Structures are given as C-alpha cells and as structure tokens.
Amino acid sequence: MVHIHRMRAISGSERHLLTLLPALAERGFDVAFVGLDDPESDPEPFYRALQVPALRLPAPRDLDPRLLARLVRGLRADVVHTHLVHADVYGGVAATLRGAKLVSTKHNDDPFRLGPFRYVERTLARAASRIVTITDSLRRFTVEQVGLPAAKVETIHYGMDELPAAWGENAPDDVPADARILLAVSRLTSQKGLDVAVRALSSLPDDTVLVVLGEGPEREALETLARSEGVAGRVRLRGREPDVAAWLRRASLLVHPARWEGFGLAVLEAMLAGLPVVASDVSSLPELVVDGETGFLVRPDDPSALALGVARALEERDRLGASALDRARSEFSVARMADRTAALYRSL
C-alpha cells in the first residue's frame, strides 16, 4: 500500500504518518510513502525520520498534469491512502486509473471544505472504498456539511505513545528559569487563535510567559498585538523548534485556543507529557480534553475565559496533568490506531 501526502514541513498530519506507517509495517503490511514535495518548503526532517521506503515527486504547482502522469506511471499498489487536498486529487485520480482501492483520511474541518471544493470531494468519495476521519466531530462535519456518504466514513483517532523525537538542538532562549510557561505548539494562523492567548496574558501574573512553537503568516500581526497589549516581553515566538519535547518538559501547561480543529495533535503530545491543557470548546477538542479532569475547555475567542482557565489549571496542575497522562495512554495509543487501520485495510 502507498500513502500520499503533499510535503511542506512537519505538522500534525505528518507526525501522524511518522507514527502510523512503521506501525502498519510491523503488522505485516508492505508500506511505502509518496511525497508531493513543495520546493519552497523544507520537508527534509520528515524524510530523515520516516521509517518506510519513500518516493519524492516535485510538486511546485497546485495543478500539474505532468505530476499526475508521473504518479500514474509509477504507482504500484493494491491500496492508495491519501491525506489532505493535493493527495486526494492526485492520488484519487491515479488510484482510479490504476484500479487500486482508495482510502482517504480527512484531517481537519477547515471551512475551505464547505466551498466549491466540496463537489470535488464528493466526486472523489464515489471512487473511495473508505474515508477515515480522525475524530467523531470531524466525521459529523464530513457527512453532514461536506456531504460525503456516511456508510463509507469511519473514525480512527490519532495515536501516540511517546513525545516527538528531536531532529536537532533548540537554539538558546531567554525565558526566565522561574517563569510559568504557557506553551502553544501550532502554526501561526488565524485558525489557531494565538491572538486570544496573547490578549489573555495581560490578565495573568507577570511570571507567566507564552512560548509559541510554530511558524506562519500571522507572525507580524501577533508581534504587533503583543506590543499593543503591553505583553511583548512575555511572548516568545520561537518558530519551528527541533526539540518540542524539551519545551513540553519545561512547560506548566498547554494552551490551544483554536477556532476550529481537526484533531489537535499538540494537545495529545502535552497530555503524554503530563501537562494540563486549556483549549477552546470547539470541534474535536472535547474528545481529547475532559473538562475539569484533564484540563479546561473555554469559550472560543474569549481572552478572559482563557485566562480564567489557565489560572485554574495552574492551581490544579498536578491532578490535571496526571489525569491527562492516563487518558492519553488508555484512549490514544499507537496500537489502538494501527490495529483499527489494519482492520480497515483487511476489510477491503
């Protein structure tokens, strides 16, 4: 079987594949990966960590007939499993032309999927044998709003047993040793609600520092906002750090004020690190965070509610963190994810 993904950098769906693919190989499947590489990005850390054979195809444009032709010519698989928009289109067409079974995983509930692209999704869904959603919330979105056939759609949660492996050493930082670190691990986009976290800082004690790991188009806007809120000295936008686990071990808790979320792999990573999570009560996040037991769920777009949740979580950090770790291990293991995926393949 072949998994296909458009490659830029390591984010949630990429980390998922780094965990899932070797687990499937351990279960006796002949697994390979095809990366549609964006030349403007740096996917090298992903390929260095990948533990299955890979084919890399340059993908400089969204629509490229030559790329499709190369993929069709080179595809040798009984099952083609696609991830996200580009892979759905290229892999879906290639699988159909080569007579392979098609499986597609939907990783997010981006409003983009409710626009004209939903008609493309519906067309590809007719050719798909199965459609995987990574949460029940995303399944409802995919069936009820995008309009894909419910009989083909099933939920398989992400799984993780260990904190992400480092692919380098973090640069030195100036975060005070005694600071209470509110960690956020996400792209700098409006979806992730980091502006809400910046605004919440002014309501929290001066020893709380927001550290954000990730990059994106909202960097300048977030820096400007931090200055206007008078908290610029308490915000660190660190970009992509090679050792996320090191920050998880230093953090007091994880904040995840997303406006919508397909899964929230950073939330699961924090839970595995024994951290409480304060997250928006939207999309998939209530499937991970049990309000009052492993962290707190708060209204989206509400800095005051986020600040109150953070203050409560800091007071009950040990209890919440221990419960978060227990839940991560029992409900979101790699074995559980891989076994359910293997059962899906065998059913084909």
CA distance 196 to 203: 12
Q: Are residues 225 and 269 in the same domain?
A: yes
Question: Is the model's pLDDT at 10 over the cut of 80?
Answer: no
Answer yes or no: do 236 and 134 share one domain: no
Q: pLDDT by residue (tens digit) across 55-65? A: 999 998 888 99
10 and 98 part of one domain: yes
Closest CA to 296 of 281, 315, 318, 284: 281
d(CA 339, CA 331): 13
**Percent over 70 (pLDDT), the chain:** 100
164 lies in a domain?
no
- Residues 141, 233, single domain; the answer is no
For the cut 90, the answer to whether the pLDDT of residue 318 exceeds it is yes
Whether residues 201 and 340 share a domain: the answer is no
The arithmetic mean of pLDDT across residues 284-302, rounded, is 97
Q: How many domains does the chain have?
A: 2
Q: What is the pLDDT of residues 298-312, one digit of tens each?
A: 999 999 999 999 999
Shared domain for 195 and 52, answered yes or no, is no
Residues 98 and 101: their CA atoms lie apart, in Å, by 9
Q: Are residues 152 and 189 in the same domain?
A: no
For residue 158, give the nearest of 3, 320, 340 by alpha carbon.
340
Residue 231 in domain: yes
Please, which pLDDT band fits residue 109 given cuts at 50, 70 and 90?
confident
**Residue listed under structure tokens 């996200």:** 84
Tokens of 202: 């002014």
Q: Which domain holds residue 237?
A: 180-331
User: Which of the four pLDDT bands, split at 50, 70 and 90, describes residue 346?
Assistant: very high
pLDDT of residue 42: 84
Residue 54 sits in a domain of what CATH number? 3.40.50.2000
280 with 256: CB under 8 angstroms?
A: yes
pLDDT, one tens digit per residue, over 201-258 is 999 999 999 999 999 999 999 999 999 999 999 999 999 999 999 999 999 999 999 9
Q: What is the mean pLDDT of the chain?
A: 95
96 belongs to a structural domain: yes
Residue 262's pLDDT is: 85
Please give the DSSP secondary-structure letter assigned to residue 291.
B
114 and 149, same domain (yes or no) = yes
Predicted TM-score (pTM) above 0.75: yes
- In terms of domains, do 314 and 341 share one? no
27 with 119, same domain? yes
pLDDT at 78: 95
In this structure, the answer to whether residues 206 and 139 fall within a common structural domain is no
Please report how the helices 65-74 and 84-98 are oriented relative to each other, as an axis angle in degrees rounded to 10: 50
209 within domain boundaries: yes
Q: In this structure, are 194 and 139 located in the same domain?
A: no
